[in-house]
Structure 1
Amino acid sequence: MSQTGVQARRSAVYLLDQVLGEGRLMSELIGGGALDRLVPEDRARAQRLATETLRGLERADRILKKHLAKSPPLTVQNILRIATYELCQGGAAHGVVNAAVEIVGKNRRTAAMKGLVNAVLRKVADTGPEMWAALRVPHLPKWLRSPLVAAYGAEGVQAMEAAHFAGAPLDLMAKGDRGALHRSLGGEMLPTGTVRLQEAGQVSGLPGFKRGSWWVQDAAASMPVHVLNPQSGEQVLDLCAAPGGKTMQLAAAGAVVTAVDDSESRMARVRENLKRTGLKAEIVVGDAMAQGGAWDAILLDAPCSATGTIRRHPDLPHAKDGSDFGDLINLQAAMLDHAISLLKPGGRLVFCTCSLLPDEGECQVEDALARHEGLSVDRAAVALDGVDPAWITEEGGLRLRPDYWSDKGGMDGFYMACIRKS
C-alpha cells in the first residue's frame, strides 16, 4: 500500500470526523486548507472518498451493523465506513483492508481496535458488495425529509433522493461561443446553454480553463440570469454574489455589474475568476443591506439552507439540523424588502435561492407581494427553453428540483421569480 493512498484515506476520515462529529461543511473545510498538504491527486481522492461515503452513508452503516455488536468511536466508525464504500465499489480487498488497519494502528487512541477493523472488513469484503446493491436508496434525515414530503409528497421526495444518490455531472458555462465549447470538450449541450460533462476529471486541466473560456456552473444556477435577461449597458446589482458564476454571466451579457458579498475570502475567488475570464465587474465586500442607489435590474441570490445542492454536497444533511431555518427565512425577507427599495420604477428583480423549501422560495415572493404595492411577478420571464410549464408555480415563479431532467443527470434544486416594479 502506497503511503499516498493511506494519506488520502486518512484525510477523508478527517473530513468525515469534522462533518459528522463537529457539524462542519466540507466546502468550508477544504476552503480552509484541510487538504492543502496533499498532492493534487491525493487531494482529489480524499475529497471523492469522503463525498461518496457520505452519499452512501446509510448503506454503509446498514452493512456494518451486521458485524458490530456496538458502535465504535466515531473515527473508527468513519474508517470502517470509507473502507466499506471502497470494498462495495470493487476496491481490492487486500489494499483497502490493510490501509484501514494501518490508519487505525497509527492513532494511539484507536490502535487497540486494529483486530476489530481487520475482522469486520474481511467480512464486509465477502458479503458487502451484494448487500450494497440490494439496499434502498439512502433517505434524507427526518428533519429535512418531513417538510419536503409535506411539500412534494413521498414519491416526489423519493425521486429527489434517487437524484442525490446518483450525484452530479459537471456543467460549464461558456464566456462566448457555447458551440465552440461543446465542440472542444464534447458532452451535451443543455437548453440553458451550459455544456454538461458526465466524466470531467480535473477541472483545471480541461481545455480552455486557463484561457478563461468557461466557468463551472450548474444548469439550474445559470437560470436566474436568463430570467433577469440583462441588457447591454444596464446597471445591474448582484447581491450575495460569491462565488461569482452569476456575476460572470451578467458581465458576459454586457451589463454594468456591481457585485456585493460580505465574505472577503469568497470575493477573492470572484476576482480570480473575473481575471481568468477577462470579464469586468465592480467588486464590493460589504453588507447587502447597506447598499444604496437606484438600479435597472437586481439579482438577489439570498442566503438559504442550500438544500437544493445535496446531489453535489451530500455532507449538508449531516452537518446541519434545520435549526437555522427560521433566521434564514427572516433574513431573506429583509433582503428582499431592501432590494425592492433599490429598484428604479419599471425595474426588475430576480429573487432566487438554492433551496427545496417553499418557505425560502414561493412563500417569500407571495409575502413580498402582500407587503408592497406596485409589484407584479413576470410569469413569462421564467418560461425558458427546456422548462416544463408544470415547473412554473402558482405565483409565477420557477421551481426546480434535483429529479428534473433525470435522463440528463438532474439539476440543482432552485427557486426563482422575476418581480417588476410598476
Structure 2
Amino acid sequence: MKESVLAKPGGDMARKGALRLIQGVRDGRSLSDQSGALRALPVADQARAARLAAETLRHQGRADRVIEGLVNRTPPPQVADVLRLAVVEMLELGAPAHGVVGAAVDLTRTLGQRGRAAAGMANAVLRKASAFEGWADLPPQQLPEWLRDPLLDAYDEATMIAMEAAHQRGAPIDLTLKPGVEPIEGGDLLPTGSLRMRGSVQVSALPGYDAGDWWVQDAAAALPARMLNARLGEKVADLCAAPGGKTMQLAATGADVFAIDINEYRLKRVTENLARCGLTATVIAADALEWEPDQPLDAILLDAPCSATGTIRRHPDMPFIRDGYGVAELIELQTAMLDHALSLLRPGGRLVYATCSLIPDEGEVQIEEALQRHPGLTVEHPTLEGIEAEWITPEGGLRLRPDYWADLGGMDGFYMACLRKPA
C-alpha cells in the first residue's frame, strides 16, 4: 500500500482540486492542459490534488468494482467521481477512513441537489468500502476498446493484462547522465545505463540539477539516441526535438546537432535545458516536413508524432481523453516525415525512426513499408547495451513494452529502428 499524500492539513482543498481535474478529464482536457486550474491553491495542495487525480484515474476500474458491489443504482457522474476519489485514497493511498469518508460526504453535498440527496448514500457506501478486503487482488483497469482491440491483434491476452498492470503501477523517475557523471545517491543504474530514482523525489532538489549533470528521461526514451550512436563532428538532426532530452544526448557526443521542432514555445524548453546542462545545439523552429539542411546529414533522429500510447503509465488520463480518432492521419504523417528525412541523408547515412506507441502500424509496419518504398535501405541490427533478445523484432527493430523490466519498475512503450541509406 502506498503512503498517503493527502491525509494531512489542507487535504479538503486538495480533494476539491482533484475532483476538478478529474471532471476536466471527463470534458476531454488532459491533466497537463489543466496545469493552471489549481493556481489558487497552496503549492502543496496543488501537488496533492494532481497526485490524487492521477491515482484515481489510474485505479478507476478497481474503484468501480468496489463501488458497484455496494450500490443499488449507478450514482450520478460527479458523485461517482467523489466515491472513486475516496476509495482510491483509502485503499490505495492508505489515508485514514474516518477523515476520507467525512470529507467525501461534505464534498458530495457541494454538488447541487443531486449531491445533497446522495450524501447519505455516499456515507454508507464509503464506510463499507473502507473495510473492503482484496483490493490488491482486483484485476488492473483495462484499456479502452479502441486501443485494446487492435493491440490484441498484435499481443495475446496475457500480454495485455501484463501491460495494463504496468500502467497501474505508474512510472518512476529516470535520469540520463552526462558522460563522465557519477550516479547520484538514491538511484539505481538500469541495464541500459539510465539511472532510476527510488521513491518520490523532487527533481530540482537532486544533486547535480543546477550543474546540469543529468536530465529527466524515461529509460526507453533514452534508447533511440543511443541507437543512432552520433559521433564527434557528425552533422546530426533531431527532428521533433522538444522537450530536448534526445537533443542533449546527441549534443553530449560532440556532434554538430540541429534541433528542429515546429512548436516555438516548446523549443524554449529545449534551449533552457541545453543551457542548464552546458550543451550546444542549433535550435530551429521549422516544420520537419519542409526543413532542409545546407548539406546532407550524417545521421537523423526522427521521434515522430504518434498516438503516445506507450506513455499511459505516466499519463493515466490518456485513455479517457482519446478515442482513436486521428491515428490514421498520424500514420500518414509518420510515413511522409520518414520519407522526407531519408532524403536529407548523405549516401550511407543512418536514420533512427522512433515512436512512443504500442501500435504496430506506428512502428514495425512503418519500417516494413519503408523498406519496400526505398530499394537498398537496410535495418541495422540493435546492439545496444542492456537490451534483451526478445525485444528485437523480425524486421530488425526494437519493440519495448511497459511490462518489460517488471521487477525494476517497467518502461515506456516504444518502437525504434536504425535505417541505413545505401552508399
On the 8 A contact 2:230/2:253 being kept in 1, the answer is: yes
What is the CA–CA distance in structure 2 between the aligned matches of 1:205 and 1:255, rounded to whole Å?
A: 30
The equivalences for 1:120-269 within 5 A come to 120-127=125-132, 130-178=133-181, 180=182, 182=183, 184-269=184-269
CA distance in 2: counterparts of 1:37 and 1:282, whole angstroms = 38
Tell me if the contact between 1:174 and 1:213 (Cα under 8 Å) persists in the aligned partners. yes
| Residue equivalent to 2:76 | 73
Equivalent residue for 1:398?
398
Distance in 1 between the 2:218 and 2:33 partners?
19
TM-score (normalised: structure 2): 0.93
Counterpart for residue 317 of structure 1: 319
Deviation readout 1:282-316 (Å, 9 max, x if unpaired) = 22222111101221111100011111111111211
Question: Could you say which residue in structure 2 is the equivalent of 1:4?
Answer: 10
Aligned residue in 1 for 2:360: 358
1:283-302 counterparts in 2 under 5 A? 283-293=283-293, 294-302=296-304
- Alpha-carbon contact 2:260-2:286 (below 8 Å) kept: yes
1:11-63 CA distance string (max 9 Å, x none): 111121122x2222222322xx2333333322221121111111111010111
Task: State the Cα deviation string for residues 62-95 of structure 1 (Å, max 9, x = none).
Answer: 1111233333332222111111101113211121
Report what 2:418 is aligned to: 418
Aligned to 1:28: 33
The structure with more helix, counted as a fraction of residues: 1
Q: Distance in 1 between matches of 2:120 and 2:200?
A: 39
> 2:4 corresponds to which residue?
none
- Counterpart position of 1:97: 101
Q: Which runs of 5+ in 1 are unaligned?
A: none
Deviation at 1:138, TM superposition (A): 2.1
Instruction: Pick closer, same or farther for the CA change 1:37–1:374 going to 2, 3 Å.
Output: farther
Who is 1:329 aligned against?
A: 331
Structure 2 counterpart of 1:7, which letter? M
Conserved 8 A contact 2:236-2:300: yes
**1:2 CA displacement:** 6.8
Tell me, in whole angstroms, the C-alpha distance in 2 between the residues paired with 1:126 and 1:8. 24
Alpha-carbon shift at residue 107 of structure 1 (Å)? 4.3
Q: Which secondary structure does the structure 1 equivalent of 2:302 belong to?
A: strand
Do the aligned partners of 1:17 and 1:74 also contact (CA within 8 Å) in 2? no
State the alpha-carbon separation in 2 of the partners of residues 185 and 43 from structure 1: 28
Q: Which amino acid aligns with 2:343?
A: S
CA deviations on 1:375-416 (whole Å, 9 max, x unpaired) are 11111xx22111112211111111111111122111111100
Q: How does 1:361-372 map to 2 (within 5 A)?
A: 361-372=363-374
Deviates more, 1:68-77 or 1:339-348: 68-77
Distance (Å, rounded) in 1 between the aligned partners of 2:100 and 2:392: 48
User: Any idea what SS the aligned residue of 1:407 has?
Assistant: coil
Identity of aligned residues (%): 55
In structure 2, the CA distance between the partners of 1:333 and 1:46, relative to structure 1 (3 Å rule), is same
* CA root-mean-square deviation: 1.7
Matched residue SS, 1:265 = helix
Query: Which whole-Å CA distance do the structure 1 matches of 2:256 and 2:39 have between them?
Result: 36
* Cα separation, 2, equivalents of 1:39 and 1:261: 34
Rounded Cα–Cα distance in structure 2 between residues aligned with 1:318 and 1:7: 24
3-state SS in 1 of match to 2:315: coil
* Amino acid aligned to 2:223: M
| Change beyond 3 A, Cα 1:102–1:384 | same
**Would the aligned equivalents of 1:383 and 1:389 in 2 still touch at CA under 8 Å?**
no
CA distance in 2 between counterparts of 1:147 and 1:267 reads 34
